[in-house]
Structure 1
């Protein structure tokens, strides 16, 4: 639009104030101003006045994630946006330019909310994954507190987290100590009977320093990879002696020799009375021993 100023005569009470003039001009004149367009995946979201303001915006969006990693003791390696973000110099109507605070609200808005499913008695992660075009591992990662084998009626199963217009990807390294379990070593021992064992040496765990790389999206872990391990103390194996000695053979029981054929009892020899001190009872007893025997003369 073009603006013309023409001199004219009139009374002072009909003169417009400067504010009224500026307002009138603003309504009919489009004032162009240099600015920076903030584009996400090719779509223009808003305009800010200067490139410095774009830097202030990105710093404000990233700061909570940087602080969170620092407070955990991890080391931040990389931070950026999951989307393609561009800041392009343009010339636009000055009315379209927004403040840093307004731009921050626009960039931090959610485009999708959390998607949840209320479980029934027959629900499984496999069925939910198939119905929602997902992997079972995705559902398990979103619901680490739920045992997939023990889904109860009424359980709230998250199928999708809220999606923001801008999503922050961070990479961090963490270092921690972990145990190295000892092993059990068996050694043959010919001084122990078979089936017997004896602990020769106690086992002791070692320890190592582990460094991992963790990738997160909006603070949620999406990947973990071990990048370095350093052994601090080697484990000491437990040693167990295993008996190999054969037991001594058990002696066989001996049997008494058997006699073949029938045997007859040998009668006790008759005791003759001693006539030097014989009594009547002795004579009777001796006579009884002779009963039934054949008399032989001489």
Structure 2
């Protein structure tokens, strides 16, 4: 499923909003695991070593002893199991979806604790796991059709992409993440972008507040602001990430884009 693909992509790139990641990025919060409050909440801890996670793996149909190899990095552990199930069972095997469903259930249980105050237990995780498996089989029975012209997008799976300007297929000079947030009651929007320099690995960003008439215009203004900012610094080979599907489709089909962002 698309949400599983993106979840796994974030897991692989250590992109989940765990407390350890948030603390590392400068948020003034404790990095302790919300479930056990004993160790920093890294992906390694929450999905392998936290007591609830180890119990979930051991009591599952897979009978995985998740804390048996503590020196193995989480990314390597994740890929090893995915490769193992794929090689043993093939593309349509039952164990790989079971493996992903447990990871997904652990994350949902953790979020339930953080956002709803519900203390997760094995019964709750098992219910999330069963629901995930059911959704997976429903999806594989009736997959969502995807336009062939949108296949092969860089970055997270399931994301759309468009070329504008001159097409460039090599390594870009700059990765830009853009976002806009709009408040209807005041028509005030916050726009911001983060730039990752490919060669130097340096990161910088900028943002501001503007008045716009819709969230789509806020997203478009963030994209435009990031481009102007990058161009002023001499960059012309740029990869931009945005979570606005309408904006990307508008760039793909500029003759039909909304007049507000044309």
Greater helix content = 2
TM-score higher than 0.5: no
TM-score, normalised via structure 2 length: 0.17
The TM-score, its normalising length taken from structure 1, stands at 0.16
